[in-house]
Amino acid sequence: MASLNVGNLGEYLREQRRNAQLSLRQLADAAGVSNPYLSQIERGLRKPSAEVLQQVAKALRISAETLYVRAGILDEKERDELETRAVILADPSINERQKQVLLQIYESFRKENGFETSSYAEPYADASSYEAADEDTDTVEGPRTADGGDAKQSPSG
């Protein structure tokens, strides 16, 4: 069988497996793939799907994005952008609203600097649709006018 252009991936997987002190059979079991299939991936004879790479990455406790880059599924720039987003989304010290605002600001800076907005950012692409206010405040806002100002209320209501 001719070797595909995934030797770099196979060598990397073998190195990660050995660093984790796992046998081929142990990793195959943990990842839910067959032992012969994993062996062929390590030898560069098979190109695994993104799903299989994700399972293997989880079993090895490494970044799936790194495996995607090595397999040619994802390019380096996309990986860096995904990892930046993942770090923001995983941060337990900020709330969901703050994460959304931070991702919007990140996208606006990327756009301003001439980088394309990735398809991964679409839920957060329009920064103007969110306010940067912290949702944990206890302030209660009254009615607003069309221009965003406070509407006058009569003392009775």
On the 0-12 / 13-18 / 19+ scale of CB atoms within 10 A, 62 is middle
Distances (CA, A) of 88 to 65, 98, 104, 124, 138: 16, 10, 11, 13, 25
* pLDDT score recorded for residue 118: 54
Residue 22 contacts residue 62 (beta carbons within 8 Å)? no
User: Residue 136: how many CA atoms within 13 Å on its side-chain side?
Assistant: 6
Q: Which two tokens stand for residue 41?
A: 């991936």
* pLDDT score recorded for residue 80: 75
* pLDDT score recorded for residue 132: 39
On the 0-12 / 13-18 / 19+ scale of CB atoms within 10 A, 149 is exposed
* pLDDT score recorded for residue 38: 96
Q: pLDDT (tens digit, 0 to 9) for every residue of the chain, 157 residues total?
A: 333 445 589 999 999 999 999 999 999 999 999 999 999 999 999 999 999 999 999 999 888 888 888 888 877 777 677 778 888 888 889 999 999 999 999 889 988 888 765 544 444 433 333 343 344 444 444 444 455 455 554 455 4
Residues in the chain: 157
CB atoms within 10 A of CB 6: 22
* pLDDT score recorded for residue 83: 78
